[in-house]
Amino acid sequence: MIGQKLWKYDCNRRHYKRDDGTTSTGPIYIKSFEELEVIGETSRSWLVGHNRDRKEGPPAEWELERATKIPKKESFESHGYFTSWKAVEDSAWVHDNDHIIATKVGRLSSRDKLERILKIIEET
């Protein structure tokens, strides 16, 4: 478990520049995630902190003192951490598209289409 990469959304990390060099009018959600790592453990908790491009070897004492404690009995997800980059990408896709889909569904006036959407929603 020590060394596992984790990602957490940080609203204070605002990036406006896209990969193609253009700028966005609002912060780019997926770029607001911070990469962290399980850097240690206690008898009851995992210690989550930054891997500051540390070379081989244990983290410094100050890194362990500043680390966030996550109880071993609880999941990382229950504390807002993502355990894979795919989960981050899925969250970003939902964040970027849910309001667009909701708007389009709200503008539908076809009973047939709305019934098909309802059937899809009820299946999940």
Closest alpha carbon to 34 in 18, 57, 54, 10: 10
- pLDDT per residue as tens digits for the range 80-107: 999 999 999 999 999 999 999 999 999 9
CB atoms < 10 A from the CB of 7, how many? 20
What is the C-alpha separation between 28 and 58, in angstroms, rounded? 34
- pLDDT per residue as tens digits for the range 25-72: 888 999 999 999 998 899 999 999 986 655 666 777 777 788 999 999
CA distances from 98 to 17, 89, 93, 95 (A): 22, 14, 8, 6
Q: Which residues of 83-112 are buried (b: 16+ CB within 10 A; e: fewer)?
A: eeeeebeebbeeeeeeeeeeeeeeeeeeee
3-state secondary structure 76-89: CHHHCEECCHHHHH
H/E segment holding residue 20 = none
122, pLDDT greater than 90? yes
Say which amino acid occupies 92.
A
3-state secondary structure of 104: helix
What's the pTM value of the predicted model, to 2 decimals? 0.77
**Both structure tokens of 71:** 């109880």
Task: Please report the pLDDT score of residue 106 as a whole number.
Answer: 95
